[in-house]
Amino acid sequence: MEKSILCRLDSSAQRYPEKVMFKDESQSITFGGFNSLTKAVGTFLAGKIAPGEPVAVMSGRHALTPSCFLGVVRAGGFYAPMDGDMPKTRLNQILGVIEAKTMLVDKAHLETAQQLDFSGEIIVFEDICDTPADESLLAERADSITVTSPLYVIFTSGSTGVPKGVITSHQSLMCYIDAVGKVLSIDDTDIFGNQSPLDYIAAIRDIYLPITFGASTFIIPKNEFAVPTALFNTLNREKITALCWSVAGVELPAKLGAFDEGKPEYLKKLCFSGSVMPCRYLKIWQENLPDVLYVNQYGPTEATASCTYYVVKEKVDDDTVLPIGKPYDNYRIALLNEDNSPTPMGETGEICVSGPILALGYYGNSEQTEKSFMQNPLNDKYRELIYKTGDLGSYDLDGNLLFHGRKDRQIKHLGHRIELGEIEETAKKIEGVTDCCALYNKPKATLTLFYTGQATSKEIVLYFRQNMPAFMVPRKLISLEKLPTLPNGKTDMQTLKSYF
Amino acid sequence: MEELMQILEELRPDVDFENETALITDGVLDSFDIVALVGELNDAFDIEIKPNNLVPDNFNSAKAMMALIEELQDE
């Protein structure tokens, strides 16, 4: 068994020294070049951090960012990626949780980094990439890592108003990457087209499938997603064979009619996740690209990106609902009732996951960790943790899992996971907002905030823009005299939904 | 034009729509904004914005958007 992802990096660098590994619109890097860069960064950082220490990384959407991440790992640490385009308040919240003493940034983000509440040392990537590799120091640091050491901490929305840092180990990541690579039959001829922001969980496929299988990844410029014809031109120019995109990303070109102008000629594999696929859009893909392998994935960040998959063999119709399928290798699924008893076949229960793919918990938050990761109530013989996803599911007659939505107020909006409670906690901090309720208008994919108080909708949106990621800004604001209530005094959300 | 400005203002109050002329090219509006905006414009002006309309030239400024709306209304 490999001890860490570094073993895979060494091996792919040896096998494909001259092959392009990561590429963006202006530069590219080979496996050999990437490996050397991680060693340079790793050697420098090893002089700054102790083994097992976190490093916050803020680097742009370009081909060299993954080498910052793996450079941290070479130094024996783990990384917490941050998107420099996020508002400072959000970045400060992340820094507050991760408590890193060191931050690695690219030159373009130095100024942003200097404006944050960060008292540690800021290191500029461009300044250290020529550090001569100290092989014995790097070997020592590689030896300090075990399969269960943290690899990265990725942040996700938390209902209390503070983002939660999900900690993933080397082992969990490698289990997932092997499983998804097998289902998609990934090999060294594949070229991925990256859509996800590099700090986001969905990007782990675009980063680690190349490291493991010798494939390459092209990082698609962000604004091309607003111009569908340019997007397809890029996929063809770069001869992209595989896409692991959010459902929202897959919908975009179909919705905006990109297939009227052309199609991705080289595409062989398309896997999607993040929310429920509206099949009227998948149908358009299938009609234009009938030979592509389509895979529907389901799973939370806490179980390393995805836990189940469904290979779409049938021709879908507008109203087809895709199953979320069967567990990946090394994932186990159980359905539990409210009282922790097993859900009978055919009935709906909470989807619970177990296996070596479970996250190590939420960083610096044992309370939340213990609530979400608990002893499997069906096992009183030995220690076996499960993660309760909060998602509801049932099995169909073929043994495929079906998804039935959330049991709480978490939503999926344009591929991002959002706690409506966090939107409300944020709105309540605004002067002039007395009370509020955030709801999701699903048919229109619009985040809606109902509120009382004197604040104007402009003031509210401006506050969100300055403090929250773009996908968490309410699109529709409705000012009310009073929020409708139920007899028990709680906000009447059903009545509010009728105001959409 | 007034109605358009109101929609834009509500969508992104942090953007100066009077003067911006590279909303798409410079990435001021992202794909989330465009999806939301297309829906709003279709409803408000009773038009149907088609895929081939979705090029930077038609959305880079409020003026360009207005021109597109008028063109589609004439059809």
- Cβ contact, residue pair A444, B39, below 8 Å: yes
- Cβ contact, residue pair B32, A260, below 8 Å: no
Q: What CATH number is associated with residue B59?
A: 1.10.1200.10
Best of B5, B17, B25, B31 to mutate (most A CBs within 10 Å, chain A): B31
B16 at the A interface (CB within 8 A)?
Answer: no
Candidates 3.40.190.10, 3.20.20.210, 3.40.50.12780, 1.10.10.10; CATH matching A220-408: 3.40.50.12780
Closest-approach residue (CA) in chain A for B27? A223
Identify the pLDDT of residue A320: 93
Identify the pLDDT of residue A181: 98
Q: What residue numbers bound the domain in which B24 lies?
A: 2-74
Kindly list the averaged pLDDT for each block of 10 residues, start to end, along chain A of length 500: 95 98 97 98 98 98 98 98 93 96 97 97 98 98 98 90 94 98 98 95 96 98 85 96 94 86 95 92 97 97 95 95 96 95 94 97 95 94 96 95 91 88 92 94 88 92 90 90 86 90
Sign of the CA dihedral running A178, A81, A157, A53: positive
Best of B54, B55, B57, B65 to mutate (most A CBs within 10 Å, chain A): B54
Identify the pLDDT of residue B36: 80
Identify the pLDDT of residue B27: 81
Sign of the CA dihedral running A271, A276, A279, A280: negative
CB-count burial class (<10 Å; 0-12, 13-18, 19+) for A359:
buried
Calpha distance A190→A400 (Å, rounded): 28
A456 at the B interface (CB within 8 A)?
Answer: no
Q: Residue ranges of the domains in chain A?
A: 1-167, 220-408, 420-497
Calpha distance A203→A416 (Å, rounded): 13
Do A220-408 and A420-497 come out as alike in CATH topology? Answer: no
Calpha distance A40→A55 (Å, rounded): 16
Q: Which amino acid is at A288?
A: N
- Cβ contact, residue pair B36, A225, below 8 Å: no
Phi, psi of A162 (to 5 degrees): -120, 130
Distance to chain B for A478, nearest Cα, Å: 12
Calpha distance A360→A248 (Å, rounded): 28
ipTM higher than the 0.90 cut: no
Distance to chain A for B5, nearest Cα, Å: 13
From first CA to last CA, the distance across chain B in angstroms is 19
Candidates 3.20.20.100, 3.30.420.40, 3.40.190.120, 3.30.300.30; CATH matching A420-497: 3.30.300.30
CATH number for region A1-167: 3.40.50.12780
- Cβ contact, residue pair B27, A222, below 8 Å: yes
Calpha distance A137→A412 (Å, rounded): 44
Tell whether pTM > 0.80: yes
> Domains in chain B: how many in total?
1
Inter-residue contact A243 to A186 (CB < 8 Å): no
